[in-house]
A and B are shown apart, each in its own frame.
Chain A
Amino acid sequence: MEIPYTISTRPDTGLWNAKIGIWLFLASEVMLFGGLFSAYIFLRIDAAPGMWPHGLLNVPVGTMNTAILIMSSVTVVLAWASLKMRRYRAYWWYMLATISCGVIFLTVKLAYEWPQKFEHFGAYIKPEALGKYEKYLGNERRAEKGMEPRIEITGHLHSQNAKEYEVALDPVNADPNNPAMDRPRFFPLPVTDKIATIEKEDVERATMFLPTHSAYFASYFTITGLHGMHVLGGVLVFTYMWLPVSKRLYQRNPEHLANRVEVSGLFWHFVDLIWIFVFPLFYLL
């Protein structure tokens, strides 16, 4: 028994089966990420003043990852076009490029961006102690300018004992009254060598930049984690289509392989599109 229209199109709908299937799947994915993004909006609108951090992510690295994903979207289309023109060799190379882009993206995310966050430290100061740390927060000037107060001191945790934290400050806390620090910068400045001592009894909560840090990092890690799993899924599927096992399918029925590349390519574009939302929401806004 053979299922009709797996490769050829049904005349009245003009589609083959998997193409409808993948679009339906993508519709459900829109709803899945839509749920997460609406949670992001809900939490961000609800956030108390100073509780939604800005400029903590590495924008150039994020931009590079964006470019890599977009590039891979181009190469996967070229891979599909090569198959349509029955140029297997070109397909093989374009597919390899796509897979490599996906792997580079994941590596940057998991081996560089995330671990960098795990090493970063932040301490939320109790409201009554904010004045004591004015020289790191610059809230007087911010109040004058009508900006949200800073309630967190960030940097690298140098050392800690039972009573206090010693933190190598981020530039924003080292020089809080500098107007250049009012807005996040494209190229992040390195942690300064200025050490601040923060007493533990003045601290509301102190954590590394983990999902527990704030609603911001909770949504960041959850959404980029889920997105990363989608990238991984795409890479695995592409790898299967790149391996010799798919060459045999190509020799038997090249159109079948082209269709497979087309639907997984659609998925890949979708994963790319999700990143196009993730990038501004977390890195830029």
Chain B
Amino acid sequence: MDASASVETHHDPHAHIEHEHHELGFWRKYIFSTDHKVIGIQYGLCGMVFLFFGFCLMMLMRWQLAYPGQALPVIGKWLPYIFGPASMPDGKMTPDFYNSLGAMHGTIMIFAGVVPVAFAAFGNFVVPLQIGAPDMTFPKVNAASFWAFAVGGVIMLISFFVPGGAAKSGWTSYTPLAAFADTGPGINPFFNGQTLWLTGFVFLITSSLLGAINFITTIIQLRAKGLTWMRLPFFVWAQFVTAFLLLLAFPPLEAAIIMQWMDRVAHTSFFLPAGLVVNGTPVSISGGGSPLLWQHLFWFLGHPEVYVLILPAFGIVGEILANNSRKPLWGYKSLVFSVLVIGFLSFIVWAHHMWLTGMGSTVSAFFQTTTILISVPSVIILSAFFISLWGGSIRFTVPMLFTTAFLPMFGIGGLTGIPLAFNSADLYLHDTYYVIAHFHYIVAPGTIFGLFAGIYYWFPKATGRKMNDFWGKVHFWPTLICMNVIFLPMFLQGMAGMHRRWYDGGQGWNVANDHTIWGLTGFQWNHPISWAAWIMGLAQIPFIINFFWSIKHGEKVNDNPWEATTLEWTAPSPPPHGNFVHTPVAYRGPYEYSLPGRERDFTMQNEPVEPTERIHRKPPAELVPA
């Protein structure tokens, strides 16, 4: 395995595999595995379950928003048996339960759903294969990362079933609201919604931290011979930067979480000013804390987190675009540097979430400038993706459908963010449905379409079988239409002034009822939105069935069904423990599609450079086989 020795002679793969082929038991192989592929799949399955659970929370909220105060038919009378009698008495949602659903929807979707799937699942499964590594550098740490995530996720779920219900102060848990939520008689100081939210978070952060260290080290150390930095697939670059964001942005939030935990459990005053009055009685605390401190520490994570959600999706989209347009990804170097610049800038834009706190014009000017600056690399990336389509012979496979849909959807999400970057415009739009629509366009039809694309794309590598095309399309089209019916009207509602945290969907607000937008009042728009959300829930059924059915019964395919170029497709499907039969060597860049003068329209990274090519390119001498 020493890169300085000749790989072909030094390495005897068959002997190696024989040697390693002692059967592990079921538990070691599938549950407490240290194999990056198994861990990736574990992350993926758990993350998808959390995504669906978070979506279910939202589907419940959509009932209350469209039909406030009415009893939820059919399942309404059963929910109190699950979430406790105070959640939905007679099928009618209480305000507290609505707040819990909102806070936990955000938390679960972001931290227990998208991050585990986009970063941990795809990163774990794909990155070592793409860089030609046998595994991650620290397999045991990798397993620890998954189990920390599992514990954190379970704590988040348990918090629904403690007295008082799950956390209800928004996914941002602003203090002092969050410091006094879920306290009082009959509520355990440790096992209550908000404290469990904090405790669960510590585990989720630990998990991300361990994962991030592992990813960066793996990408630096275990790249195959010849796989130089500028030959890395774009997906690997995206994961590399994402890992840095997680590594450096999460710890300040962990510090904040520890302090809020102390505020709640040890009754300190990190985030609590003196003179607070709760329910009419002055609180006996030392005071001297600052609610703004929480907001700064929270958004110091919160903004890089946005890029943690989107960068892996960029990576997936880049891979699939090049593969299905059958031409090299346009502007590979610009893409790489854009991702690096985004990574850096994302650390200095956080206070644009805090325009309403009155930071003063100097600070605002700084953060407005950086926020607009960060749109430059984002636009470069999206433009490069669009140009990649130009003149390609596009194959509209199911992954490609999701990828092409990603581009305009992310575009809408990104462009509608620009008014929010300016504090004068944001003063009006802040905390309205406009904001909800903006960031959901980025993470729902944006990131989640990227994730679906990735699942359809790498499924054959994980199982040796393809997911069904027809049912993939049945999944895609309703999902695309519903996404837009859900989120487009929210821009209108938001611009009409509807507040994002209203429990009654705007029913009690005159402006929402008097003014019509395209024939419906602001409140009435909740009906098509909610119905679209529920139909979109149904539209996921083909995907779920297709996914599980295809594991055993899908069409059998070879190791490289998409005729792709990157190294993961040189491994058997599914790859064995240790991944590659022959340790791969990279001789060329990641997207050598449609090379002139070749029989096939793709040239894999491990195909040696032929003498005829040498006129055009000069690879490092030691990489040209004798």
Q: B221 within 8 Å of A by Cβ? A: yes
Q: How far is the CA of A125 from the CA of B262 in the complex (A)?
A: 25
Q: A60 within 8 Å of B by Cβ? A: no
Q: How far is the CA of A264 from the CA of B249 in the complex (A)?
A: 24
Q: Out of A4, A28, A32, A213, name the residue touching B1 (CB < 8 Å).
A: A4
Q: Out of B220, B249, B269, B578, name the residue touching A218 (CB < 8 Å).
A: B269
Q: B268 within 8 Å of A by Cβ? A: yes
List residues of A (205-228) whose CB comes within 8 Å of B's CBs: 205, 207, 210-215, 218-219, 221-222, 226
Interface size class of B (residues with CB under 8 A): 35 or more
Measured CB to CB, the nearest residue on chain B to A216 is B288
- Contacting pair A1 B288 (CB below 8 A): no
- Contacting pair A222 B252 (CB below 8 A): no
Q: Out of B4, B138, B250, B251, name the residue touching A21 (CB < 8 Å).
A: B138
B208-216, B385-393, B412-420, B458-466 - interface stretch = B208-216
Measured CB to CB, the nearest residue on chain A to B2 is A8
Q: Out of A3, A43, A210, name the residue touching B135 (CB < 8 Å).
A: A3
List residues of B (288-308) whose CB comes within 8 Å of A's CBs: 288-290, 293, 297, 300
List residues of chain A with CB within 8 A of the CB of B290. Answer: 42-43, 46
A218-B286 contact, Cβ under 8 Å, with A1-B577, A4-B1, A11-B4: yes
Q: Out of B255, B267, B577, name the residue touching A39 (CB < 8 Å).
A: B255
Q: Out of A3, A11, A20, name the residue touching B3 (CB < 8 Å).
A: A11
Q: A144 within 8 Å of B by Cβ? A: no
- Contacting pair A20 B216 (CB below 8 A): yes
- Binary per-residue interface labels of chain A (1-38) against chain B in the complex, 1 for a CB within 8 Å, 0 otherwise: 11111101011110111101100110111011111101
List residues of B (195-245) whose CB comes within 8 Å of A's CBs: 209, 212-214, 216-217, 220-222
- Contacting pair B3 A10 (CB below 8 A): yes
Q: A47 within 8 Å of B by Cβ? A: yes
Measured CB to CB, the nearest residue on chain A to B256 is A35
B148 to chain A: closest CB distance in Å?
14
- Contacting pair A13 B255 (CB below 8 A): no
Q: B284 within 8 Å of A by Cβ? A: yes
Count of chain A residues with a beta carbon within 8 Å of a chain B beta carbon = 49
Q: Out of A8, A24, A210, A219, name the residue touching B212 (CB < 8 Å).
A: A24
Q: Out of B254, B268, B285, B293, name the residue touching A32 (CB < 8 Å).
A: B254
- Contacting pair B284 A205 (CB below 8 A): yes
- Binary per-residue interface labels of chain B (266-295) against chain A in the complex, 1 for a CB within 8 Å, 0 otherwise: 111110001000000000111111100100
Q: How far is the CA of A74 from the CA of B249 in the complex (A)?
A: 32
Q: A48 within 8 Å of B by Cβ? A: yes
List residues of chain A with CB within 8 A of the CB of B136. Answer: 3
Q: A266 within 8 Å of B by Cβ? A: no
- Contacting pair B285 A212 (CB below 8 A): yes
- Contacting pair B137 A222 (CB below 8 A): no
Q: B20 within 8 Å of A by Cβ? A: yes
List residues of chain B with CB within 8 A of the CB of A32. Answer: 251-252, 254-255
Q: B595 within 8 Å of A by Cβ? A: no
Q: A70 within 8 Å of B by Cβ? A: no
A222-B262 contact, Cβ under 8 Å, with A1-B134, A2-B1: yes
- Contacting pair B293 A212 (CB below 8 A): no
- Contacting pair B256 A13 (CB below 8 A): no
- Contacting pair B251 A39 (CB below 8 A): no
- Contacting pair B251 A31 (CB below 8 A): yes
Q: How far is the CA of A129 from the CA of B31 in the complex (A)?
A: 66
Q: B341 within 8 Å of A by Cβ? A: no
- Contacting pair A35 B254 (CB below 8 A): yes
Measured CB to CB, the nearest residue on chain A to B262 is A222
B584 to chain A: closest CB distance in Å?
13
List residues of chain A with CB within 8 A of the CB of B256. Answer: 35, 39
- Contacting pair A28 B251 (CB below 8 A): yes
- Contacting pair A28 B222 (CB below 8 A): no
Q: A51 within 8 Å of B by Cβ? A: yes
B462 to chain A: closest CB distance in Å?
18
Q: How far is the CA of A114 from the CA of B293 in the complex (A)?
A: 27
> A1, A10, A18, A226 — which one has the most chain B CB atoms within 10 A of its CB?
A1
List residues of chain A with CB within 8 A of the CB of B436. Answer: none
A211-B268 contact, Cβ under 8 Å, with A39-B255, A48-B288, A218-B262: yes
Q: How far is the CA of A27 from the CA of B216 in the complex (A)?
A: 12
List residues of chain B with CB within 8 A of the CB of A215. Answer: 268-270, 286-289
List residues of chain B with CB within 8 A of the CB of A18. Answer: 138
A13-B220 contact, Cβ under 8 Å, with A21-B137, A39-B270: yes
B123 to chain A: closest CB distance in Å?
15
Q: 19 A-B residue contacts at CB 8 Å?
A: A1-B16, A3-B136, A5-B1, A8-B2, A15-B220, A21-B141, A21-B214, A24-B247, A25-B213, A28-B212, A28-B248, A35-B252, A35-B253, A39-B297, A43-B290, A48-B288, A211-B262, A212-B269, A213-B286
Nearest 6 A-B pairs (CB), nearest first? A35-B255, A35-B252, A218-B268, A1-B578, A32-B251, A31-B251
Residues of B within 8 A of A (CB): 1-4, 16, 20, 134-139, 141, 209, 212-214, 216-217, 220-222, 247-256, 258-259, 262, 266-270, 274, 284-290, 293, 297, 300, 577-578
